[in-house]
Amino acid sequence: MRANREVIMNKKIIYVIAMILMGCIILYQYKKDQIVMLERIVNNNNITLWTESFGDVRNPTIVFISGAGASSRFWTDAFIKQIVDFGYFVIRFDHRDSGLSSAVDFEKNPYTVLNLAKDVIAILDAYNIEKAHVVGHSMGGTIVQLLAIHYPQRVLSITSMSVGTVGEVAAPSQETMDVLLENKPTQNFEESLPGFMESWKLLNGNFEVDQELATEYTKDLYERSNHPVGVARNHIKAQEEFTDLSVQLKSIVVPAFFIHGQEDLLIPVQAGIATAKVVSNAKIDVIPDMGHMIFNRELEQNLANILILNFKSVHNI
């Protein structure tokens, strides 16, 4: 009975998160000679995955993985440039059913979160990358955990952000749910923007929402997508049978880092801490004032600095 309650509760949380994280972008213009950017389509069976790489492929690789319904542009150009400038090769990509990657008929071709993890392996194979650091936010955090469990030989380290995969995750408060469910996006950007902005303000913790970042995030939802605005149903379905990872997490042997916002109203910080405690020698950074979203340039920079320090510890730099 308790297991059933946990599944039902986790489904509700997954649904809310997926309906929120449905794509984001931030376009910073800088000279091409500052960073090498290349787009590439990767095929995984009948799925096409839009990918983009930055920097020198001879450097250690980092793959950034977005959450449910979110495209590659959750990880902004400015954020990635900070990482590349420290001497890393970066890949970001659109999940199947997001951004410019394949739309899937889920009834005919159902998939799971583990299948999404296998998409990452297909991307590494296409780029001829033996091992990579993998960083995931929300559902992407679950994906990096699965990569460490099932494909440790392909992983240099994992960074799991803003997710809990152990036990029953507490539901958002009714007040939070009320605000989020008030946002009912249409297919018109200008019409829908105010509702999105209310959600972003709520989910940004105590950091001030950068209006430019949040607006461009939302605009990308409309301008860079093969999928209807507001639709993340397939990612929700992919997680419906997902279960507690308490046992599997104990098998992780690669360096594991966890990051969680102290003010996350979607996935409480206690869920991230509980998950990190199961993984041997894991490190967790709890970020004061951070919520579930990161619409703040100072916060982006702080997160980039944390990641770099963690990666350097893996390489003993």
Mean pLDDT for 297-307 is 98
At 222, the pLDDT band (50, 70, 90 cuts) reads confident
Percentage of the chain exceeding pLDDT 90? 69
Which pLDDT score, from 0 to 100, does residue 20 have?
52
Residue 186 — pLDDT band, cuts 50, 70, 90? confident
Amino acid at position 29, single letter: Q
Q: What pTM does this model have?
A: 0.88
| pLDDT (0 to 100) of residue 10 | 62
Quote the CA–CA distance of 298 and 284 in Å, as a whole number.
20
Domains and CATH numbers, the chain: 2-314 (3.40.50.1820)
* Mean pLDDT, range 148-165, rounded to an integer: 98
More reliable by pLDDT, 22 or 306: 306
